[in-house]
Amino acid sequence: MKFLIVAIGAGIGGGARYWLSNFISKTLPIFFPFGTIAVNIIGSIILGILIFGFEEKGNLSTTLKLLIGVGFCGGFTTFSTFSLETFNLIKNTEFLLAGLNVLGSLFFTILGIYVGYLITR
């Protein structure tokens, strides 16, 4: 049953990632992976809210933690895509953009967790 809960959340998260990444790619310049960074930041905020707002206060069921934290956030965020896009920037000798992608993703996703933490306080 737990596997099914995670799978449902991951399916919803993956679908949401696909939609949002495509929307951002059509809206912003395509020379930089803005969509991937956006979903990683949003996913980090959601995970921060979930953990610091609900789990630490004892207001989170195991089912919701699995559905949202493991399933949705796991399906929504895109570390493997981030790695591929960074590698492709390096391969295309776009070293500055690759570095910005790594630093921006790391900084803003940690910031996203912090924002989630602040929202719940």
- Percent of the chain at pLDDT > 70 equals 100
**Predicted confidence (pLDDT) per residue in 96-120, tens digit:** 999 999 999 999 999 999 999 999 9
Residues 92 and 32 sit within 8 Å (Cβ to Cβ):
no
Residues 44 and 118 sit within 8 Å (Cβ to Cβ):
no
The per-residue pLDDT for 1 is: 95
Rg (CA), the chain: 15
**Predicted confidence (pLDDT) per residue in 77-92, tens digit:** 988 889 989 999 999 9
**Predicted confidence (pLDDT) per residue in 37-70, tens digit:** 999 999 999 998 988 888 778 888 999 999 999 9
Helix, coil or strand: residue 56: coil
Its pTM stands at: 0.81
